[in-house]
Chains A and B, each alone.
Chain A
Amino acid sequence: ETGVTQSPTHLIKTRGQQVTLRCSSQSGHNTVSWYQQALGQGPQFIFQYYREEENGRGNFPPRFSGLQFPNYSSELNVNALELDDSALYLCASRTGLAGTLNTGELFFGEGSRLTVL
């Protein structure tokens, strides 16, 4: 089975620009989550999508938005980039219904490293 793939792997933007990061979930997975990991910190939860609907969100402003498509691929969009948005952005997927007794493991991609100048 294919793993979680993310693109691009690295990118550089300037303050105020917009960015779109993409994720292809592992085959058969219908739930995708996005995390932000600043240097030296653990990953922080941004939001989660299940069957194209957002069903959980962390403490991130509305300029962080996402989409999940019928094929379960996903996008993370960040508007009005700030210097503090520089981080590794991780996508993770798993099977099952969010919020139920699914204890399945999360499968993470290798991340997209965003640098904001």
Chain B
Amino acid sequence: DAKTTQPTSMDCAEGRAANLPCNHSTISGNEYVYWYRQIHSQGPQYIIHGLKNNETNEMASLIITEDRKSSTLILPHATLRDTAVYYCIVNRAGTALIFGKGTTLSVSS
């Protein structure tokens, strides 16, 4: 079973920041937080991952709370092409990814 809890769906206006929350209260010290997304009819796409520190790349930012029990994925300027299912996954390095149902993000103009 997935070790994370995410809202089923969220809406965001185009151009605004999309903040996607994830709870992972049972995370272990050696487990990373990964985010993937899946646009309709495509394979999942890696977004970002982190262990303790906040991370940023060209796609998004990942904010992990100090106790590591929750995190937030931030898409700073959402576009229509960001409409997708977003998966938050807790995972030990090198082991299989266990996907939950994710959050369906709908970006509208």
Verify A103–B93 contact, CB threshold 8 A. yes
Please classify the interface of chain A as helix (H, G, I), strand (E, B), loop, or mixed, using the class held by over half of its residues: loop
Which residue on chain B has the smallest CB distance to residue A111? B43
Q: What are the residues of chain A within 8 A of B42 when measuring CB–CB?
A: 110-111
Verify B97–A100 contact, CB threshold 8 A. no
Residues in chain A within 8 A of chain B (CB atoms): 4, 33, 35, 40-45, 48, 56, 58, 90, 92, 96-103, 105-111
Bound CA–CA A90/B99 (angstroms): 13
Bound CA–CA A101/B42 (angstroms): 28
Bound CA–CA A98/B94 (angstroms): 5
Q: What are the residues of chain B within 8 A of A42 when measuring CB–CB?
A: 2, 85, 87, 99-102
Verify B46–A103 contact, CB threshold 8 A. no
Bound CA–CA A108/B94 (angstroms): 16
Q: Which of B44, B85, B98 has the most CB of A within 10 A?
A: B44
Additional pairs, 12, CB under 8 Å, beyond known A43-B44, A102-B94, A110-B42: A41-B101, A42-B87, A42-B100, A48-B96, A56-B95, A56-B96, A92-B43, A99-B95, A100-B93, A103-B94, A105-B46, A105-B49
